């Protein structure tokens, strides 16, 4: 049982490049989330998907897009990366009983 799997684990981008962070869960959860964590800070919600086919903005959605591809997969896209998007990105899924997190993607934009 893998839980929540994120790819890649590490990524370096140049300013202006685009990329997609992938997330998949095998717990049959309806809700999925993308968070970012900056050094010394808590997690801030970027986007979430309450169920397959729906997505909503969180606290810090600017500069990001998401796709809920199916019940298992929820991707996060940076169309034109900026240094301010350097962060650790976490994907999570939840159902009644709490949320479970992936291992994180450390993204550096230079």
Residues forming contacts to other proteins in the complex (CB under 8 A) are: 31, 33, 35, 41-45, 48, 50, 56, 58-59, 88, 90, 92, 94, 97-101, 103-104
Closer CB to other proteins, residue 19 or residue 43? 43
In whole angstroms, the minimum distance from the beta carbon of 23 to other proteins comes to: 14
| Residue nearer to other proteins on the CB measure, 17 or 43 | 43
- Asked if residues 54 and 29 have their Cβ atoms less than 8 Å apart, the reply is no
Are 20 and 76 in contact by the 8 Å Cβ rule? The answer is yes
Taking the complex as a whole, the smallest distance from the CB of residue 45 to other proteins amounts, in Å, to 6
- Please say which residue, 26 or 79, places its beta carbon nearer to other proteins: 26
Residue 8: both structure tokens together: 């890649």
């Amino acid at each position: 049982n893998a839980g929540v799997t994120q790819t890649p684990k590490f990524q370096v981008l140049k300013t202006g490049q685009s990329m997609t962070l992938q997330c998949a869960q095998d717990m049959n959860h309806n809700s999925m989330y993308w968070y970012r964590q900056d050094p010394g800070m808590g997690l801030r919600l970027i986007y979430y998907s309450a169920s397959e086919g729906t997505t909503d903005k969180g606290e810090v959605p600017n500069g990001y897009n998401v796709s809920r591809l199916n019940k298992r997969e929820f991707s996060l896209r940076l169309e034109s990366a900026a240094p301010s998007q350097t962060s650790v990105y976490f994907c999570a899924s939840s159902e009644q009983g709490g949320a479970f997190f992936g291992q994180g993607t450390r993204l550096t934009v230079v």
